[in-house]
A and B are shown apart, each in its own frame.
Chain A
């Protein structure tokens, strides 16, 4: 298994995440798709870290995981207050800041 196989898996997972953000309208599922994209980027970073035998990629993945954890905590808190105020998880219903 070379670097190519891992990069293709990462690309497919990333594009599934992009597709989810583009097509789904449920804000929680869109959020999960963002997590999926972060994971695909992590796989890419880890495989390149293994390719060069350099640990910096893994350090970067650690940072991505930290940011993802903070993002989920804050994002889900925003979602809770959104549902409490608007009673919806559909992104189309909260379009006040859309152009």
Chain B
């Protein structure tokens, strides 16, 4: 069962990522394949006992980030003319060779007897567990993340404003 889920959802993630890569016509379709990729990854996260992060992935990535992408694509109303030309075939060939080579290298690098999964208690990765770790060991990082989000909000508003008075 776990194997079937893994193969289905990792295959779906890779296929939708390739769909994002090869789709040169329509940016909306590219954003939608990004949603499929994010949701498949959320399933993989939950299979790895990261329930809270999986839910966060669905809410923040699929729910907020990609919606923001779609919103901007539709706001900019990009049509054929100002989409711009794609890059030269030489660059594509070199990029493809680099990507395939690096993937094979990464895969063979780990191709050795590896540590089996650790035994974890059933609480691992739940909201209570993450919250306890966040509010004790990582309190400063948590606060800084909040400040970063505030800075992001202010920056986005200033940048997207039509003109500064």
- Chain A residues with a Cβ under 8 A of chain B: 1-9, 11-13, 15-20, 22-26, 28-29, 31-33, 35-36, 39, 42-43, 46-47, 49-55, 58-59, 61-63, 65-74, 76-81, 83-84, 87-93
Q: Is the interface of A mostly helix, strand, loop or mixed?
A: helix
**B152→A69 contact, CB < 8 A:** yes
**B21→A19 contact, CB < 8 A:** yes
The distance in angstroms between the C-alpha atoms of A4 and B60, with both chains bound, is 27
Chain B residue total in the interface (Cβ 8 A): 87
Instruction: Say whether, besides A3-B115, A5-B6, A88-B82, A50 and B44 are in contact (CB < 8 Å).
Output: no
**B141→A72 contact, CB < 8 A:** no
**A46→B48 contact, CB < 8 A:** yes
The distance in angstroms between the C-alpha atoms of A58 and B98, with both chains bound, is 30
New A-B pairs, 14, CB < 8 Å, besides A13-B17, A24-B24, A69-B64: A5-B6, A7-B110, A13-B13, A15-B100, A19-B95, A28-B30, A35-B34, A43-B41, A58-B50, A67-B148, A70-B148, A70-B152, A80-B160, A83-B78
Hey, which chain A residues are within 8 Å of B115, CB to CB? 3, 51
Interface centre among A15, A59, A79 (most CB of B within 10 A): A15
**A28→B73 contact, CB < 8 A:** yes
Nearest CB on A from B140, distance (A): 12
A8's partner among B82, B107, B125 (CB-CB below 8 A) is B107
The distance in angstroms between the C-alpha atoms of A9 and B95, with both chains bound, is 19
Hey, which chain A residues are within 8 Å of B82, CB to CB? 83, 87-90
Contacting residues of chain B (121-164) with chain A, CB-CB under 8 angstroms: 124-125, 129-130, 133-134, 138, 141, 145, 148-149, 151-153, 155-160, 162
The distance in angstroms between the C-alpha atoms of A56 and B162, with both chains bound, is 42
26 A-B interface contacts by CB (under 8 A):
A2-B116, A4-B111, A11-B106, A15-B99, A16-B99, A23-B21, A23-B86, A24-B21, A24-B86, A24-B87, A28-B73, A28-B78, A29-B20, A32-B34, A39-B41, A46-B50, A50-B118, A50-B120, A58-B52, A62-B56, A66-B148, A72-B65, A73-B152, A76-B69, A77-B158, A80-B72
**B117→A42 contact, CB < 8 A:** no
Hey, which chain A residues are within 8 Å of B133, CB to CB? 55, 59
**B27→A74 contact, CB < 8 A:** no
Instruction: Say whether, besides A58-B50, A76-B69, A36 and B6 are in contact (CB < 8 Å).
Output: no
Instruction: Say whether, besides A26-B84, A55-B129, A69-B64, A3 and B14 are in contact (CB < 8 Å).
Output: no
